[in-house]
Amino acid sequence: MSAVDTTPVPRGAGSPTARREPPLTPGASRPPGEAHPVREGAPGPAAELRAGATAPARAAGRGIRVVRSRFEAYGTYGELLLAGRPAALGTAVRVLRAELDAIDLACSRFRDDSELAAVNAAAGAPVPVSAVLAEAVEVALTAAAQTEGDVDPTLGAALAAAGYDGDYEALPADRPAAAPAPPPAGAWRAVQLDGGTLRIPAGTALDLGATAKALAVDRAAAAIAAATGAGVLVNVGGDIAAGGPVPPGGWPVRLTDDTERTGVTRPGRAGPVIQLHGGGLATSSTAVRRWRRGGRTYHHVLDPRTGLPAEPVWRTVTVTAASCVDANTASTAAVVRGRGALTWLAGLGLPSRLVDAAGAVHRVAGWPLDRHPDAGPGQDDSEREGGG
């Protein structure tokens, strides 16, 4: 999550005192400028990403051809946009798939053959791990430290107890609720990563869902840009990262309303557009990935203190930062922090847009007023999500 502060967490930093915690940082270039309607007739194809979180609208910049590839990954939608080198799309897709597959094999909680499954099965004992899983765990532990444990990678057992114990699309509509299973306070501090060896505390289980998808997006955008020399935008389930040269004017990114979505792979209602000038953007939501247990509705962002879904103060929280990991760490922690998120995000200087349960929009750290492509001159649907 940090393209500005790239100080790595030292490998072998098994103890909390040895681990350095780079701060959550704003975008590498600049915060989103004033959002404006996407111009009809702008060059490049329409690039509507089916996002409950975000969606690029059109390629920016005259004379720059943008090509795209849509795909599904991690049980959600995805899209790759390539600016300036359309012939390199095939190479870009191959690099993207390799990066997504590497993170999935290392970090999936739902694959019996994943490295993470082996680590969780051996809780309490050291397990050799690949460089990919080691990086993912470092990122997750850094996120926990940056958020004082609000983004906690030891929530694996809590998520299973809450009913999120398999691929989302395969979850039953309802079943009896189980007792909450929050991790011991500060359990993430006892996770030991020493080079290529990982040990988690006995009785715990890791879940890297709060950071691994964002890490995959960051890795993919950087790898594609390096392989092709093109400007790149990668989106997986609303986690977005830019790489390589940014088109003039930035990447137009459209926000959509999660309450209008009929599933995790379906689009929401079209909303405002901003311009992304680098780094990453992520949205955390309490309105999607919901299920029922014992007649009660659950969502996937748990409060580590209770093992239960965070109070749905916010319907969506969208953050832009120096990387997708930084943005996703901040947006997830904001959901957990509730009303306190406004002051926290403002203090970090992270441009953010928060939509509360009643649909009121709150902006901090320079997030622009909402502008909609279908609004007339001077019109501004800034008070309600999606302009509805």
Residue 157 in this model has a pLDDT that exceeds 70 = yes
pLDDT, average across residues 234-254: 92
- Answer for the pair 387, 381: CB distance below 8 angstroms, yes or no: yes
Per-residue confidence at 300, pLDDT binned at 50, 70, 90? low
pLDDT of residue 295: 67
Digit-coded pLDDT (tens) for 166-194: 455 555 575 676 676 678 999 999 999 99
Q: What is the mean pLDDT of residues 157-172?
A: 62
28: pLDDT confidence band, cut at 50, 70 and 90?
A: very low
Residue with tokens 């694959």: 111
C-alpha 373/C-alpha 147 separation (Å) is: 35
The answer to whether residue 121 scores a pLDDT higher than 60 is: yes
Q: What is the CA radius of gyration of the chain?
A: 20
What dihedral angle (degrees, nearest 10) is formed by the CA atoms of 95, 99, 100, 104? Answer: 150
With 60 as the cut, is the pLDDT of residue 63 above it?
A: yes
For residue 282, the model assigns a pLDDT of 95
* Residue 44 vs residue 109, higher pLDDT: 109
- Alpha carbon distance 224, 233 (integer Å): 9
- Order across the sheet with 127-128: list the strands: 127-128, 197-199, 192-194
Q: Which residues pair with 110 in a beta bridge?
A: none
The Cα–Cα gap between 162 and 157 comes to: 9
Q: What is the pLDDT of residue 13?
A: 27
Quickly state the pLDDT bin for 163 (edges 50, 70, 90). low
pLDDT at 297: 67
Residue 215's φ and ψ, nearest 5 degrees, are -65, -40
Mean residue pLDDT of the chain comes to: 77
| Angle at CA of residue 240, ends 333 and 84, nearest 5° | 160
Return the higher-pLDDT residue of 84 and 334: 334
- In this predicted structure, the answer to whether residue 102 has a pLDDT above a threshold of 60 is yes
Alpha-carbon span 267 to 52, nearest angstrom: 6
More confident residue, 281 or 174: 281
Of 15-29, 43-57, 355-369, where does the model show the most confidence?
Answer: 355-369
Question: Is 29 a residue whose pLDDT tops 60?
Answer: no
In order of their start, the domains of the chain are: 54-387 (3.10.520.10)
User: pTM of the entire structure?
Assistant: 0.79
Q: What's the pLDDT band for 264 if we cut at 50, 70, 90?
A: very low
Q: 215-233: per-residue pLDDT in tens?
A: 999 999 999 999 999 999 9
Q: 288 and 317 in contact (C-beta within 8 Å)?
A: no
pLDDT at 44 over 80: no
C-alpha angle 377/381/384, rounded to 5°? 175
Q: What is the 3-state secondary structure (H, E, C) of the chain?
A: CCCCCCCCCCCCCCCCCCCCCCCCCCCCCCCCCCCCCCCCCCCCCECCCCCCCEEECECCCCCCCEEEEEEEECCEEEEEEEECCHHHHHHHHHHHHHHHHHHHHHHCCCCCCCHHHHHHHCCCCCEECCHHHHHHHHHHHHHHHHCCCCCCCCCHHHHHHCCCCCCHHHCCCCCCCCCCCCCCCCHHHHCEEECCEEECCCCCCCCCCCCHHHHHHHHHHHHHHHHHCCEEEEEECCEEEEECCCCCCCEEEEEEEHHHCCCCCCCCEEEEEEEECCCEEEEEECCCCEEEECCEEEECCEECCCCEECCCCEEEEEEEECCHHHHHHHHHHHHHHHHHHHHHHHHHCCCEEEEECCCEEEEECCCCCCCCCCCCCCCCCCCEHHHC
**Contacting residues for 253 by C-beta, under 8 A, at least 6 apart:** 32, 54, 55, 56, 57, 240, 273, 274, 275, 276, 281
| Residue 311 binned pLDDT confidence (cut-offs 50, 70, 90) | confident
List Cα–Cα distances, 165 to 30, 160, 296, 301, 321, in angstroms. 39, 4, 16, 14, 31
Please tell me the predicted confidence (pLDDT) of residue 115: 98
Side chain identity, residue 153: P
- What pLDDT shows up at residue 50? 27
Label residue 257 by pLDDT band (50, 70, 90).
low
Range of 184-188, 304-308, 321-325 with top mean pLDDT:
321-325
Q: Please tell me which residue, 306 or 116, carries the higher pLDDT value.
A: 116
Distance CA(244)–CA(221), nearest Å, equals: 8
d(C-alpha 151, C-alpha 331), whole Å:
10
Q: What is the pLDDT of residue 12?
A: 26
